[in-house]
Amino acid sequence: MDETVAIIICPKCGRTIILPRIYAPSIGEERRVAINHGDHAVIVGFDRFGVARSVSSIMLRTNNDKEGHEDLICPRCRGGLPMTNWGDVDRYAIDHGDHIVIVYRIGKEVDIEVIDKILPIRTPPRTSRLRKVIMNIGKEALASIILWMIKNPNREVKVPGNLHTDIKFFIEKLLNVRNPNIITGIPEIHENSKAIAFFIKKINYVENLSTLEAIQILKESIELIESIKESLIKIKRLYGREEACEYLNLLKESDQSLCYVIKEIITMKCDDERLRF
């Protein structure tokens, strides 16, 4: 995969956007760029490592959309910015060539932000490592590997010989496991289909993103799992098994597949009928 490009999904229309990877100047900052996407603009924020951290969309208007109000002035090019009868709208964007201007309504005041515009890349990038893995072993096998490695980082991972390097890279970056125990063989599917469904759903979401974005999003899900696991262990230690089971029941009500993952990596019996899987 050419990591000089980033791949994102437009939150407005769902189309894939390929764009040059941008880097913020320092940690904690975000460099935002804008793409004209027809009747809306897409705003992407990159961190200093070039990972797309935020993606949003905003209604795009033209300078002809005037409604009888005095114009504002773009602070960069001095071009006009049509005012609007706001109604339920609290912001809109105007394309000014090499930059996009966002006009915000803040109470009775109006604020203006100028963002550099970039053009999406039309040529499809090479297949990412994630897509290569999915095409070779399927999503169920990849989800199984993730679940097994969370539970036991020393477990043997069976994959086709041509995927050793890609799976090693993926596990090391995603799970912070150094030198995973990868052997040549037929990938295995975890017997807990309801637990791996959680990861399949996440893989579906990121499969068309670039490797960096996909790993970052999947990593955040794994960090969530680790956080819930630690909370559950702490609750059980401080307040007992019944309170820990009640915590699990609340989790089941909000995200059943995530609850299956937690039950898989923490063996804990609960008498609560609500937790009968």
**Run of H or E including 61:** strand 52-61
What would the pLDDT profile of 27-86 be if each residue is shown by its tens digit?
889 999 999 999 999 999 999 989 899 999 999 987 655 544 456 789 999 888 876 666
Say what the pLDDT of residue 68 is. Answer: 40
- Backbone dihedral angles phi then psi of residue 39, each to the nearest 5 degrees: -90, 5
Is residue 1 over pLDDT 50? no
- Give the pLDDT score at 86: 62
The whole-angstrom separation of Cα 178 and Cα 258 is 26
C-alpha to C-alpha distance for 133 and 170, rounded to whole angstroms: 9
3-class DSSP state of 257: helix
What whole-number distance in Å separates Cα of residue 130 and Cα of residue 211?
Answer: 6
pLDDT digits (tens, 9 = 90+) for 139-182: 999 999 999 999 999 999 999 999 999 999 999 999 999 899 99
pLDDT at 277 over 60: no
Maximum distance among all Cα pairs of the chain, rounded to whole angstroms = 70
Q: Torsion over CA of 260, 262, 267 and 272, rounded to 10 degrees?
A: -60
Q: How many Å apart are CA 68 and CA 65, to the nearest integer? A: 10
Residue 19 scores a pLDDT above 80: yes
pLDDT tens readout for residues 76-132: 998 888 766 666 778 889 999 999 999 998 887 889 999 999 999 886 666 788 888
The answer to whether the beta carbons of residues 192 and 147 sit under 8 Å apart is: yes
Q: What is the mean pLDDT of residues 239-251?
A: 90
Question: In this structure, are residues 127 and 1 in contact, taking their beta carbons and an 8 Å threshold?
Answer: yes
User: Taking the domains of the chain in order of start, what are their residue ranges?
Assistant: 5-117, 129-274
Q: Would you state the pLDDT for residue 213?
A: 86
Give the separation between CA 222 and CA 163, rounded to whole angstroms: 22
With H, G, I as helix, E, B as strand and everything else as coil, classify residue 19: strand
- 205 pLDDT more than 90: no
